[in-house]
């Protein structure tokens, strides 16, 4: 899945580990990622956490997407900081799951993220819309 994710790879996100409902990803904050307050833009921190979440919830095989997510920013990050996002599966029930992601910098918490997942298909080739278009699915189905 990560190999087919140009958004995450384009920002320099790297996979440290991903297996059995747990994933770790890292990203260096670049000068292009800071906002007008000279701190990392929250959207980039969210994207890193969301990537770790996606890796964790897809680590068991079925095609899984986010049903929703929220983030709490605890402290700022700055250009040059290396952020580490650790995602942990809290529970899976039916086709749904809950995952917590902690984003840190040098061991200090930068943000806490909670994601809710939804399994769309057992395998990527099973994704279809009503018209039979490969690679697309109705997440409400």
Tell me, yes or no, whether 141 lies in a domain: no
Report the domain count for the chain: 1
Tell me, yes or no, whether 137 lies in a domain: no
Tell me, yes or no, whether 106 lies in a domain: yes
Q: List C-alpha distances in Å: 3 to 81, 108, 117.
A: 24, 29, 20
pTM summary value: 0.86
Tell me, yes or no, whether 65 lies in a domain: yes
The pLDDT score that the predictor gives to residue 17 is: 94
Question: Which backbone phi and psi does 48 adopt, to 5 degrees?
Answer: -60, -50
Residues of the domain holding 49: 2-126
Tell me, yes or no, whether 138 lies in a domain: no
Tell me, yes or no, whether 140 lies in a domain: no
Closest CA to 137 of 119, 112, 116: 119
Q: Give CA–CA dist 81/129, Å, rounded.
A: 42
CATH number at residue 79: 3.10.129.10
Tell me, yes or no, whether 101 lies in a domain: yes
- C-alpha triplet 49, 113, 75: angle, nearest 5°: 90
The pLDDT score that the predictor gives to residue 122 is: 67
Q: Give CA–CA dist 95/75, Å, rounded.
A: 34
CB distance 85 to 103 below 8 Å: yes
Tell me, yes or no, whether 132 lies in a domain: no
pLDDT along the chain (141 residues), means of 10: 79 92 97 97 97 94 92 98 98 95 97 96 60 48 48
Question: Which backbone phi and psi does 51 adopt, to 5 degrees?
Answer: -65, -45
């Amino acid at each position: 899945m990560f190999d087919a994710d140009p958004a995450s790879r384009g920002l320099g996100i790297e996979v440290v580990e991903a297996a059995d409902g747990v994933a770790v990803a890292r990203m260096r904050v670049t000068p292009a990622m800071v906002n007008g307050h000279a701190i990392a833009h929250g959207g980039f921190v969210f994207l890193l956490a969301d990537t770790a979440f996606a890796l964790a919830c897809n680590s068991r095989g079925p095609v899984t997407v986010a049903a929703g997510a929220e983030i709490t920013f605890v402290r700022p990050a700055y250009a040059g900081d290396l952020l580490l996002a650790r995602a942990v599966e809290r529970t899976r029930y039916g086709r749904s799951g809950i995952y917590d992601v902690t984003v840190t910098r040098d061991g200090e918490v930068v943000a806490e993220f909670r994601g809710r997942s939804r399994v769309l298909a057992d395998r990527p080739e099973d994704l279809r819309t009503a018209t039979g278009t490969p690679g697309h699915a109705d997440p409400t189905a």
